[in-house]
Chain A
Amino acid sequence: MHFSEDDLRNALKRQDPGPIFTQRVMAGIKQAGTKAPVRGERAGFFSNLFSLRLRPALAGALAVLVLLAGGLGYLQHERKKQREQALAKEAERQAIIALRITNAKLNRVFQRVRESQENDSKIRRERL
Chain B
Amino acid sequence: MNVDRGERLEAALARVVGGDQSAFAEIVTAHQAMVFSIGWHYLQDRSLAEDIAQEVFLELYQKLLYQKPPTIQSPAHLTFWLRKVAVHRSIDQGRKQKHRRESDLEKLPEPAAEPKRSDPLLLDQLRQTVRTLPERQRMVVVLRYEEDLGPAEIAELMQMPVNTVKSTLHRSLEELRKKLTRRVGESRYAFF
Interface residues of A (CB under 8 A from B): 1-17, 19, 21-22, 24-26, 28-30, 32, 34, 36-39, 41, 43
Contact = CB atoms under 8 A, between A and B. Distances in A.
B37 interface: yes
A25 B33 contact: no
A30 B57 CA distance: 13
Interface residues of B, number: 44
Contacts of B54: 21, 24-25, 28
B105 interface: no
Contact of A1 (B29, B33, B181): B181
Interface of B: 21, 24-25, 28-29, 32-34, 36-37, 40-41, 49-50, 53-54, 57-59, 61-63, 65-67, 114, 117-118, 122-124, 126-127, 130, 141-142, 145-146, 148, 176-177, 180-181, 184
Contact of B142 (A12, A26, A32, A39): A12
6 contacts: A3-B126, A13-B37, A24-B54, A25-B58, A26-B25, A41-B66
Contact of B28 (A4, A14, A22, A34): A22
Given A26-B25, A34-B65, A3 B33 contact: no
Contact of B62 (A11, A25, A26, A37): A37
Given A3-B122, A12-B145, A22-B29, A29 B24 contact: yes
A36 B180 CA distance: 46
Contact of B177 (A3, A12, A39): A3
A72 B114 CA distance: 75
Given A7-B123, A10-B123, A26-B24, A16 B62 contact: no
Given A5-B145, A24-B54, A41-B63, A16 B36 contact: yes
Contact of A3 (B40, B49, B58, B180): B180
B63 A38 contact: yes
A84 to B, nearest CB: 54
Contacts of B50: 17, 21, 24
A32 B59 CA distance: 11
Given A3-B117, A12-B142, A16-B32, A25 B57 contact: yes
B33 A16 contact: yes
Given A10-B118, A25-B32, 4 more contacts: A12-B37, A17-B50, A28-B58, A32-B62
Nearest to B179: A1
A12 B40 CA distance: 9
Contacts of A12: 37, 41, 126-127, 130, 141-142, 145-146
